[in-house]
Amino acid sequence: MKLVGMFDSPYVRRVAISMRLLDLPFEHANWSIGRDQARIAELNPLGQVPVLVLDDGEPLVESAVILDYLDQLAGPERALVPASGEMRRRVLGLTALAAGVADKARLQISERVFRPPGMQHEPLRMRLRAQMLATCHRLETVCAERGDAEWLVGDRITQADVTLGCALTYATETVGLPAEEAALPALRARHARISQLPAFREIYLPFDAPVIG
């Protein structure tokens, strides 16, 4: 399988880290959404990464769809999202919130990167930031409740941990979280811990704003 996209994207990174955790080997195509937009669009008309090109050439798009496919490949014992029940609901719910933090950061960055300075709409940026921070505060409550428990749900790593790790790194590097040391302590501590896991250390690229046009 070939994974298309750069690891500074939280969506590409969560797929790559999941593949590493699930022992699913892949070739990496380090294509940029700026420079390589035309060949990305040949695989995904949305022009977005990640794309996972299967061994028969079929391109899978959307990280959530790709992650679901990878879990199917790995089987229910190893899947990063539990197969059913409350655990599944909890993992999917937290994964959606964490992915939402990345989405809100990405939209703020799009304002900055894709629009000329005079055309940026400050009220929109502030609204997106408020939504992102409100979601961080919701995740903070969950992290505080989990205390020293190693993982967000249950007793092994799930997609909630993977996506939270990737989303927080991206939000921190692109738009920043509140600088005060006291802000979001449980979330920050959990993010710091996840970021030290070998897969997270190995699959990492600092954010570099794409150039378009």
Ligand X SMILES: N[C@@H](CCC(=O)N[C@@H](CS)C(=O)NCC(=O)O)C(=O)O
68 binds ligand X (CB under 6 A): no
Please, are residues 212 and 37 in contact by the beta-carbon 8 Å criterion? yes
49 binds ligand X (CB under 6 A): yes
**Candidate list 3, 4, 7, 9; residue touching ligand X; CB under 6 A:** 9
185 binds ligand X (CB under 6 A): no
User: Which lies closer to ligand X via its Cβ, residue 33 or residue 91?
Assistant: 33
User: Which lies closer to ligand X via its Cβ, residue 29 or residue 49?
Assistant: 49
| Residue ranges in 105-164 that form contacts with ligand X under rule CB under 6 A | 106
**Candidate list 3, 7, 11, 133; residue touching ligand X; CB under 6 A:** 11
Choose one: 20-28, 43-51, 90-98, 124-132; the region binding ligand X (CB under 6 A): 43-51
Angstrom distance (rounded) from CA 43 to CA 64? 17
Is 29 strand, coil or helix? Answer: strand
173 binds ligand X (CB under 6 A): no
Q: Angle CA(37)–CA(38)–CA(44) in degrees, nearest 5?
A: 80
Minimum CB distance to ligand X, residue 91 (Å): 16
Angstrom distance (rounded) from CA 50 to CA 62? 7
**Candidate list 63, 95, 159, 163; residue touching ligand X; CB under 6 A:** 63
Question: How many other CB atoms sit within 10 Å of the CB of residue 103?
Answer: 18
Please, are residues 166 and 14 in contact by the beta-carbon 8 Å criterion? yes
Residues forming the site for ligand X (CB under 6 A): 9, 11, 33, 47-50, 62-64, 106
